[in-house]
Amino acid sequence: MKVLGRHLIAEYTGCAPAILNDASYVEESLLEAVRQSGATIVRSVFHHYAPQGVSGVVVIAESHMSVHTWPEYGYAAVDFFTCGQAVDPYRANACLAEKLGCRQAIVSEIKRGIPSETDEVISHKPIALTVPSTGTLG
């Protein structure tokens, strides 16, 4: 594979239900995790569900980080998708797991990129690409 990025998938269990149901706290925690990773924040969007739970995404210049919580189970599903070599998704994971009071985190890493017979890390955005505008869709 010609690797463009890393995608960490994390399962957090044993988290405090009140923390997982506080949209403002979850958002600030993920933003801090993004900062700790060295990523560049573009925008964040978070939503609190009724009666409980939070989903949110932080779009970063290097891809995205997201969280989805189930307070009733003390569980959070988390993604840290980063491109390039400058961002450390494991630092984001450590920070967020601590902030959410996670007792156990199971983390899997998936390499993201172009299928290939050789394994190599390729440069993220090595050249400027001009894509012609097609106007509206349809």
Q: Select which of 15, 64, 66, 68 is catalytic.
A: 68
> Any idea which residue has 């900062």 for tokens?
35
In a domain, 129, yes or no: no
- Is 63 part of the annotated catalytic residue set? yes
User: Per the domain annotation, does 110 fall within a domain?
Assistant: yes
In a domain, residue 135? The reply is no
Quickly tell me which residue has 């189970």 as its tokens. Answer: 73
* Model confidence pLDDT, tens digit, residues 51-71: 999 999 999 999 999 999 999
C-alpha pair distances (Å), 131 with each of 58, 125, 134: 26, 14, 9
How many domains are there within the chain? Answer: 1
Residue-wise pLDDT for 77-126, tens only, equals 999 999 988 999 999 999 999 999 999 999 999 988 888 888 778 776 55
* 80 within a domain of the structure (yes/no): yes
Largest Cα separation within the chain, whole Å, is 50
In a domain, 127, yes or no: no
Q: Find out whether 57 and 64 touch, Cβ atoms under 8 Å.
A: yes
Give the model's pLDDT for residue 20: 98
pLDDT digits (tens, 9 = 90+) for 1-35: 888 889 999 999 999 999 999 999 999 999 999 99
Once rounded to an integer, what is the mean pLDDT over residues 119-135?
Answer: 65
Question: What's the confidence (pLDDT) of residue 138?
Answer: 55
CATH number of the domain within which 55 lies: 3.60.90.10
Q: Is 83 a catalytic residue?
A: yes
Q: Which of 37, 44, 63, 66 is catalytic?
A: 63
134 with 26: CB under 8 angstroms? no
- Host domain of residue 27: 2-121
Q: What pLDDT sits at residue 115? A: 85
Q: Return the closest-CA partner of residue 56 out of 45, 64, 48.
A: 45
User: Is position 128 within any domain?
Assistant: no
Distance, CA of 46 to CA of 65 (rounded, Å): 12
Answer yes or no: 95 catalytic.
no
Rounded CA-CA distance 30/56 in Å is 9
